[in-house]
Amino acid sequence: MLFLQWIFEMLIIGIETTCDETAVAFLSSPLKVLHHELYSQSGVHRAKNGVVPEVAARLHLSLLLPLFDRGLKAAQKELSSVEAIAVAQGPGLIGALLVGMSFAKTLALVLDRPLICVNHVEAHLYAALMNHGRTDIKQALGIVLSGGHTFFCLMHSVGDYTYLGETQDDAIGEAFDKVAIMLQLGYPGGALLEQLAHYGNEKRFSFKAGQIEPYHVSFSGLKTAVLYKIRDLEKKAPLSAQDRADLAASFQKAAFDVVCITIEKINSAHSLKALVLGGGVTANGYLQRLLKEKFGHTFKIYLPQPALATDNAVMIAGLGAWQFQKKGASSLESKANPNLRLEC
């Protein structure tokens, strides 16, 4: 009993540096957040219309310690009170991951505290459960929709998954960003494309994303179809504001239609009870309305807080705390893994 009480009152640190967000978080239990800090590098990478890995790694290196110091003070905790350090081990950019892993290992060694290596994709799913204050999920479909991932798995419980499918090329968030650039919205463009699509006719252009049996998807062809349609329109006249809005709306509809079709196919085979969604694309209001309209009467739908939909350290610390209770610590010999897969 005393051990369990100590576990639930521990101070756990989360560290996230998988791509272009530098983040730290301080939690006192798997579901209770004391404080978190996040710096998005998107403004730095905007000029290149995408993340520059070397630049991202250097920024993580310069930002991580100041963010950690500021967060520790805001959480009103002493360094000596830290009980464990959770860190995103992968998947992600290798240089960025190395910065976070090195920082976490150093803390673990200096403080003589456990290191907990966390799967970044799994943490996105955990973020949705945190938003609803529960981890006792069963017979659910886990879906990660982000700039780097489009992934479907059965969730028998936290930590127990069956792989179903994923994108075979571009992630859905990556496709949003690339189409946004085509429409001259800039980078990152997901939220801007959603705003533009609000004024468009989603039925004007008949786009489709790819479906690959059994539960894989493809967005490369959809992206190319939008590019060709833009070129066709520009042969007649420069794109009008309405053209751009209609293209955005038609693309958005096609991208999310294939997600919904995949959900329906999986449900037919597995009789789902819930949907658990994570990743930055889940903040899209059109997607949320579509999910509620199509599945709200059938499934409980778990979504993360909008602020915790994109990469953050809260989800790393939360899953790390849960993982520590169930599985214990990771080895200090653990290495960053840019291609880390969800254990299924």
Flag whether 147 is marked binding: yes
Q: Helices in the chain by DSSP H: which ranges?
A: 2-8, 42-45, 53-74, 94-111, 120-131, 172-182, 190-197, 220-236, 241-270, 285-295, 314-327
* Pair of tokens at residue 218: 């493809």
* Pair of tokens at residue 315: 């989800």
Look at residue 201 in the predicted model and tell me its pLDDT. Answer: 99
The domains of the chain are located at: 11-126+309-327, 138-306
Flag whether 166 is marked binding: no
pTM of the model: 0.94
> What is the torsional sign of CA 218, 220, 143, 316?
positive
Flag whether 110 is marked binding: no
DSSP code string of 138-169:
-SEEEEEESSS-EEEEEEEETTEEEEEEEBSS
Which residue ranges of the chain lie beneath pLDDT 50?
1-7
Flag whether 311 is marked binding: yes
**Amino acid symbol at 227:** L
Look at residue 330 in the predicted model and tell me its pLDDT. Answer: 97
Look at residue 4 in the predicted model and tell me its pLDDT. Answer: 39
pLDDT digits (tens, 9 = 90+) for 134-146: 889 989 999 999 9
Look at residue 49 in the predicted model and tell me its pLDDT. Answer: 85
Look at residue 93 in the predicted model and tell me its pLDDT. Answer: 97
Flag whether 149 is marked binding: no
Flag whether 148 is marked binding: yes
Flag whether 20 is marked binding: no
Domains 11-126+309-327 and 138-306 share a fold: yes
Flag whether 9 is marked binding: no
pLDDT digits (tens, 9 = 90+) for 246-273: 999 999 999 999 999 999 999 999 999 9
Look at residue 212 in the predicted model and tell me its pLDDT. Answer: 94
CATH of domain 138-306: 3.30.420.40
Please tell us whether the domain made up of 11-126+309-327 is placed in CATH 3.40.190.10: no
* Pair of tokens at residue 8: 């639930």
* Pair of tokens at residue 284: 């899209």
Flag whether 190 is marked binding: yes
Flag whether 90 is marked binding: no
